[in-house]
Amino acid sequence: MTPTAAPEAAPDAAASEAVPAPSAARASAAAGGGPVVRTQKLSLTFQTADGPVYALSGIDLTVEEGDFVSLIGPSGCGKTTLLRVIADLEQPTDGDIQVNGVTPHQARLERAYGYVFQAAALYPWRTIERNVTLPLEIMGVPQAERRARAAAYLEMVNLAGFARKYPWQLSGGMQQRASIARALCFDPDLLLMDEPFGALDEIVRDHLNEQLLNLWNTTGKTVVFVTHSISEAVFLSNKIVVMSPRPGRIADVIETDFPPDRDLDFRETQAFIDVAHRVRMGLRQGIADDD
């Protein structure tokens, strides 16, 4: 499969259960146009020493194939927890969740998603190239193909000349781009990004936002993106999920229909400002409920 291969649609594989090969898993996900992520009354309660914390409460969310969904909300609203439940890094205490039509656990074993953390989480003893090929090594991809793919994806995130460098020799923005290349290189159809640009300054963040949007346009991947920046959420997504805290729940879902080739200047347009306003109102409402 080539790095930019569009997800194939095999209509007869719709209900296929737990086929442990990545490509087959993808086929089952794409099959019949079923949602990539579907949650119903999803709840997660952490039992802590200070009593229960209701991180998620009655979440109903559907992410369709090819969506760019942003989860936005104040800290403590459960947006990262929701992403981690999708990634099978947390277990829900109630409700249903399906990823690619199977449980998150199965989806993880089928390597259905690439996860980008808040920090780059690169391994300092590996070069940038070998960090990017780490998932491929785990999946047993032969070395020649690993190197070819690393080269292609480093090129895509504009890090072509840095394959032989070590992570600590790169700036924070470059490290985060390398971690995105790592999440992309085994060609998952679903990208889960947890505030990937949160630690970067605004100029770098703007630049990476543009690159990410371009990437989404060219690859057609499904992205679930956690952020607390309104302009980032509105600029990138076609679906904005506004969340509010205590208990973590969905306050508003806004679907947008912006031109796919928008650039940063688009943020000055009235359409953008209107959506941003609605997001802000949703956030304010969530806070007001809390008080």
Q: Which is nearer to another protein, 139 or 273 (CB)?
A: 139
Task: Measure the CA–CA gap between 255 and 234, rounded to whole angstroms.
Answer: 10
Task: Measure the CA–CA gap between 6 and 4, rounded to whole angstroms.
Answer: 6
| Site residue total, another protein (CB under 8 A) | 25
Q: Which is nearer to another protein, 140 or 259 (CB)?
A: 140
Provide the minimum distance between the beta carbon of 107 and another protein in the complex, in angstroms, as a whole number: 10
191: phi then psi, degrees, rounded to nearest 5: -110, 125
Provide the minimum distance between the beta carbon of 122 and another protein in the complex, in angstroms, as a whole number: 9
Q: Which residue in the set 49, 125, 142, 257 belongs to the binding site for another protein (CB under 8 A)?
A: 125
Binding mask 208-247 for another protein (x = CB under 8 A): ----------------------------------------
Q: Which is nearer to another protein, 29 or 234 (CB)?
A: 29
Which stretch, 69-77, 120-128, 211-219, 224-232, contacts another protein (CB under 8 A)?
A: 120-128
Q: Map the footprint of another protein across residues 19-78, applying CB under 8 A.
A: none
Q: Can you tell me which residue has the tokens 């709840």?
A: 43
Q: Which residue in the set 19, 53, 117, 266 belongs to the binding site for another protein (CB under 8 A)?
A: 117
Binding mask 158-177 for another protein (x = CB under 8 A): --------x-x---------
Q: Is 168 exposed, middle or buried (0-12, 13-18, 19+ CB in 10 A)?
A: exposed
Task: Measure the CA–CA gap between 258 and 199, rounded to whole angstroms.
Answer: 27
Task: Please state the three-class secondary structure of the chain as a single string.
Answer: CCCCCCCCCCHHHCCCCCCCCHHHHHHHHHHHHCCCEEEEEEEEEEEECCEEEEEEEEEEEEECCCCEEEEECCCCCCHHHHHHHHCCCCCCCEEEEEECCECHHHHHHCCCEEEECCCCCCCCCCCHHHHHCHHHHHCCCCHHHHHHHHHHHHHHCCCHHHCCCCHHHCCHHHHHHHHHHHHHCCCCCEEEEECCCCCCCHHHHHHHHHHHHHHHHHHCCEEEEEECCHHHHHHHCCEEEEEECCCCEEEEEEECCCCCCCCHHHHHCHHHHHHHHHHHHHHHHHHHHHC
Q: Which residue in the set 51, 124, 142, 259 belongs to the binding site for another protein (CB under 8 A)?
A: 124
Which stretch, 49-57, 111-119, 156-164, 218-226, contacts another protein (CB under 8 A)?
A: 111-119
Does residue 267 belong to the site contacting another protein (CB under 8 A)?
A: no
Does residue 93 belong to the site contacting another protein (CB under 8 A)?
A: no
Which stretch, 131-139, 142-150, 220-228, 282-290, contacts another protein (CB under 8 A)?
A: 131-139
Q: Map the footprint of another protein across residues 176-195, applying CB under 8 A.
A: 186
Does residue 108 belong to the site contacting another protein (CB under 8 A)?
A: yes
Does residue 139 belong to the site contacting another protein (CB under 8 A)?
A: yes
Q: Which residue in the set 123, 143, 161, 280 belongs to the binding site for another protein (CB under 8 A)?
A: 123
Does residue 114 belong to the site contacting another protein (CB under 8 A)?
A: yes
| Residues found near another protein in the complex (CB under 8 A) | 87-89, 108-111, 113-115, 117-119, 121, 123-125, 134-135, 137-139, 166, 168, 186
